[in-house]
Amino acid sequence: MHNVQITRLHNGIRVISENVTHIKSFSLGFWFDTGSRDENPRNNGISHFIEHMLFKGTKNRTARKISDEIESLGGYLNAFTSKEQTCYYGRGLAQNMPKTFEVLADMVLNPLFKNKDIKKEANVIIDELKDIEDSPEELIFDKFEESIFRGNSLHYPIIGTEKNIRAFSQNDLFDYISKQYGFNNLYIVASGLVDHDKLVSLTEKYFGKLSHKISKKRKNFGGAVPESKFVYKDIQQVHVILGRTSYGFNSRERTAVSVLSQILGEGSSSRLFQALRERNGITYSINSFLNSFYDVSTFGLYFSTNEKLVKKALNIVSSEFEKMKNKKISDKELKRAKESLKGSILMSLENTTNRMMRIAQSVILFNRLKTVEETVSEIEAVNKEKILELSNLLLVENNMNKIMISSKNHLIN
């Protein structure tokens, strides 16, 4: 990522591009540094709701025209909302970037938020909410984060609540836009066959005469007491998370935790996969996770199994934790974990959308471009002593939140 340029406009917008000359396409993202973390109990879910509504028509385009103008050129538009960012993005052939930029700018600057569309989309999002509630492997992560982040706005689910979704009005949406969609909160990022000066010119054309700045404050997560939580669902399997908080993106220690997670439960060669699935055959799904935000991460493991085997599975997990805490890993295992982690990062860069997203998140989180080489060096620097130290710090079950979804409560406090 050596061909990256960054320009900051007078109104605060950051324009960031990476020119990749050996391809014919581009990925373009409009990133707002706002998400469910910036909400409150009354408006939880509004960031995600607005993400949907921006595709429902502008002063210049119907919803159909928004999609048709891009898809007729062989491209596509999409968006996502996380707890900390909202991104609207498109991909297409290089010559069509001006049109994609124009459509995204129109969506951001000129939404209509018609009342009939709000009511219609509320039903769509409630359907999405019901899908999550019917999928225990998704629902359990929402319940886990609600538990572990209680007392901080990070505990709000991205999709919100049915009560809020049904109550959102046109005024609510425009009010949230005015408070969170400031231009000093906007990052326009592109990767592919992109000319930086043309990207800056497009930004000046559509945004240059506008100025809307906001002041944004987020309360850092201060910690919480571990708890056990049981959620009843009439399902066949038992779904379990054991997890805790760990280092966020703002800490160099996070890279070492990602290596530990790789060793513990990411991939079929990981310890937990081998112990639970290969040697004992008692689970189909088992993986560790590291979900990160600026100042904190969640770290832990998820598995599902037959209700008769859940206690055995938990005992095996405890045994594997003790092994990690009592003995250094081998050079071979450490190298395998590092190579797997590096490989997944480097292979993801063969896709321009992944490249665009990596660049955007780097600038938003670190206020600079963190190079791939820098990340690889951090991975390489992790040693066996650090893995042992982190294992003894993080793999302590008494300090973990325990979440279970099942038709019967098997969770041992």
Distance CA 18, CA 356 (A): 8
Q: What is the reported pLDDT for 272?
A: 97
Contacts of residue 171, defined as CB under 8 A and 6 or more positions apart, other chains included, come to: none
pLDDT at 17: 98
What is the distance between the terminal CA atoms of the chain, rounded to a whole angstrom?
48
SS (H, E, C) 211-269: CCCCCCCCCCCCCCCCCEEEEECCCCEEEEEEEEEECCCCCCHHHHHHHHHHHHHCCCC
Residues of the chain with CATH 3.30.830.10: 4-207, 228-406
The residues pairing with 130 across neighbouring beta strands, listed in sequence order, are: none
**pTM exceeds 0.85 for this model:** yes
CA distances (Å), origin 341, targets 245, 256, 275, 287, 337: 21, 11, 21, 15, 6
**Is 3.30.830.10 the CATH classification of the domain at 4-207?**
yes
Superfamily name and number for 228-406 = Metalloenzyme, LuxS/M16 peptidase-like (3.30.830.10)
Residue 302's pLDDT is what? Answer: 98
What is the pLDDT at residue 410? Answer: 67
Please give the structure tokens belonging to residue 191. 């990767």
Burial 4-31 (b: 16+ CB within 10 A, else e): bbebebebbbbbbbbbbeeeebbbbbbb
Sequence-distant contacts of 8-11: CB under 8 A, at least 24 apart: 9/183, 9/200, 9/203, 9/204, 9/207, 9/208, 10/208, 10/211, 11/183, 11/184, 11/207, 11/208, 11/210, 11/211, 11/212, 11/213
pLDDT by residue, tens only, the chain of 413 residues: 568 999 999 999 999 999 999 999 999 999 999 999 999 999 999 999 999 999 999 999 999 999 999 999 999 999 999 999 999 999 999 999 999 999 999 999 999 999 999 999 999 999 999 999 999 999 999 999 999 999 999 999 999 999 999 999 999 999 999 999 999 999 999 999 999 999 999 999 999 998 898 988 888 998 888 999 999 999 999 999 999 999 999 999 999 999 999 999 999 999 999 999 999 999 999 999 999 999 999 999 999 999 999 999 999 999 999 999 999 999 999 999 999 999 999 999 999 999 999 999 999 999 999 999 999 999 999 999 999 999 999 999 999 999 999 998 766 55
Q: What per-residue string of b and e applies to 157-172 under the rule 16 or more CB within 10 Å gives b? A: bbbbeeebbeebeeeb
Characterize the bridge pairing of strands 14-19 and 4-8.
antiparallel
- In three-state secondary structure terms, 408 is coil
CA distances from 281 to 237, 264, 276, 287 (A): 15, 17, 6, 15
C-alpha 133/C-alpha 119 separation (Å) is 21
